[in-house]
Amino acid sequence: MHRCSAVNVDIDSLYLYYRLHGLDESRATNAVWEKGVVRFAELFDEVDVKATFYVVSQDLERWPRARQICAQLASAGHEIGSHTDSHPYDLIHQDPSTIAAEVSRSRELLSEVRGAPVTGFRAPGYHMAPAVYDAIRAAGYSYSSSLFPSWPYHLAKWGVMASMRLRGKRSKAIVGDPKILVASRKPHFRRDVLELPVTVLPGIRFPFIGTSLIAFGHRGYSLAKPLLNRLDFVNLEFHGIDMCDLHEDGIDPALLKQPDLRVPLTDKRAIIKRTLSDLRERWGVATLEQLAPLLASGARN
């Protein structure tokens, strides 16, 4: 298989981070869409990259501006994928009818805004189960990019959840199936659905996503590059909040619990731009929808 890469952005609005940290979400603004997503689109245009944006479809009904931005992303040639209708962190624990409604309603609404059928799906919290794969296959999706098989990431996340519980706070995040810690990091099929995992580095499966890239900066990226160069397929995931600035965007300081907000926007933009430029030059960048047929063929061989 020839080298290839994809860049994607999960558009998790601020109210979801309040839920994640057990905070009052009534203070949430629409900064992720109006600031973070718009800045990502501008940067992608600057470095000549087309990306995949995973959208929580109820946001398009909640905020007219979000619907406008989503339509603009599609018009610019970016892929629009589903991040479910309401982003239930416990999707895998829901009954089959609820799961089906979450994935089918999202695909229907996003396809209408996109002007073409949505083919890609990403689950909340990187958690998947047989019932979810069955539901997205039945709804007409052609691939999932939901697994993140990084045991350092998940163990750290579970540690934070345990600490919150000891302090009397409850996160909406769930533990999920421990098998994800050792799931294949390469494209593969699950219940006849093509799964394109988010990239982890070879070896100890250290996370290679926007959060870790921003946290460790240029020095960390320089250390990661030799490992990254060993991969034929890179699937780099960001979140809309990665291009938000706490002070400039008037975001609630309570969300400083998010490492993405502890770094100034100028610094974050610089390391993201460097990484995108490297991916474009070394791997070439396409949307996951464009790459899916090639990756499916490789996964079957």
- % residues pLDDT > 70 (the chain): 99
pLDDT tens per residue across span 34-87: 999 999 999 999 999 999 999 999 999 999 999 999 999 999 999 999 999 999
* β-pair type (233-239, 4-11): parallel
Q: 159: closest CA among 181, 175, 135, 182? A: 175
Total number of domains constituting the chain: 1
96-114 and 130-139 helices, crossing angle to 10°:
40
pLDDT tens per residue across span 120-158: 999 999 999 999 999 999 999 999 999 999 988 888 887
pLDDT tens per residue across span 262-285: 999 999 999 999 999 999 999 999
Residue 194 and residue 142 in contact, taking contact as beta carbons nearer than 8 Å? yes
- For residue 175, the domain's CATH number is 3.20.20.370
Question: With b meaning 16 or more CB within 10 Å and e meaning fewer, what string describes 272-291?
Answer: bebbbebbeeebebbbbbeb
Query: Given CA atoms 247, 248, 252, 258 in this order, what sign does their dihedral have?
Result: negative
Q: Is the pTM of the predicted complex or chain greater than 0.85?
A: yes
Average pLDDT of the chain is 95
209 to 116, 239, 250, 266, 298: CA distances (angstroms): 28, 9, 25, 18, 24
Both structure tokens of 37: 């997503």
Domain residue limits at 119: 4-300
